[in-house]
Amino acid sequence: MTAFYFVLAFLLSWLPWPLILLNPASSPMVPFGPLLAAAVVAALTHTSRQLYAQLGRWRAPARWYLAAVLVPLAVLGLAAALAVAAGASPVAAVTARPDWVQVAAAFGSTVVLVGLFEEVGWRGFALPRLQQRMTRLPAALLLGAVWAVWHLPLLVSEPTRQRPVVQFLILVVAQAVFLSRLYNASTAGLPLVILSHAVIDTSAQFVLPLFAGSGYQLVWWALAGLWTVVAGLGEFLPSERFRAHPGPVLQRKGVPSPAREVGP
């Protein structure tokens, strides 16, 4: 059913893409496609309760909440600094005082439109099922590749927010490894992952527009490289032993689903 979920998530998400031929200003994607696909497949497999229960699993060591917030901010800040050091000239004053009301509003909407709409599907539904069949890192990489391709309409249909394709694909796969690590660290909980995903997108929304031209390319290369380093380090840093917890998501009534331990 994992393959069926991916196909359905793509179909539902990409449904409006042809409409941009008639209205270029329209959105090329349905943002809640991954969530809706997860809801449909979970209902078909009688695992809806287990899927949505992950939204209430907010307990995790404080260090993982710090990592969920501070790592994305540190990566973006360092990437911007590296781009400037390499010769990029911001098109706006980096030292300008931020509008915190605007930042808060953007973060709140991103929690729903990006965090909730995507993570219930990608990490909440697909990741546990992949981890039932393979170890943690291959599962995260495979999901990251699927997640990167899912963004294709945004890569080719929004010229005003054009993302460098190569850097973006590398970045998304690396972020998938990081977010999967957070998911497992919180014992198959979604709030931590939703929080971090929202921080990633909200902070980028306010920093990346400060760069243009070659500087925009530089900051994206820096982001792709730094996220790759973060993903790699996350696989070697010591942490508590945990289970990947495919059981709570896959288990049907009366059918036990064993969870197997994965490292490191």
For every residue of the chain, which 3-state class applies, written as one string? CHHHHHHHHHHHHHCCHHHHHCCCCCCCCCCCHHHHHHHHHHHHCCCHHHHHHHHHCCCCCHHHHHHHHHHHHHHHHHHHHHHHHCCCCCCCCCCCCCCHHHHHHHHHHHHHHHHHHHHHHHHHHHHHHHHHHCCHHHHHHHHHHHHHHHCHHHHHHCHHHCCCHHHHHHHHHHHHHHHHHHHHHCCCCCHHHHHHHHHHHHHHHHHHHHCCCHHHHHHHHHHHHHHHHHHHHHCCCCCCCEECCCHHHHCECCECCCCCEECC
Cα three-residue angle 173-222-183, rounded to 5 degrees = 35
CA distance 106 to 102: 6
For residue 93, what pLDDT is reported?
A: 52
Q: What angle do CA 44, 50, 151 make, to 5 degrees?
A: 70
pLDDT of residue 156: 81
**pLDDT at position 90:** 76
147, 225 in Cβ contact below 8 A? no
Q: Give me the pLDDT at residue 242, please.
A: 40
> What is this structure's pTM?
0.86
Question: What percentage of the chain has pLDDT greater than the value 70?
Answer: 82
Per-residue model confidence (pLDDT) at position 136 = 92
In the chain (264 residues long), the average pLDDT of successive 10-residue segments reads 95 86 72 96 95 93 94 96 87 64 92 95 97 94 97 76 86 96 91 97 92 89 97 70 45 40 35
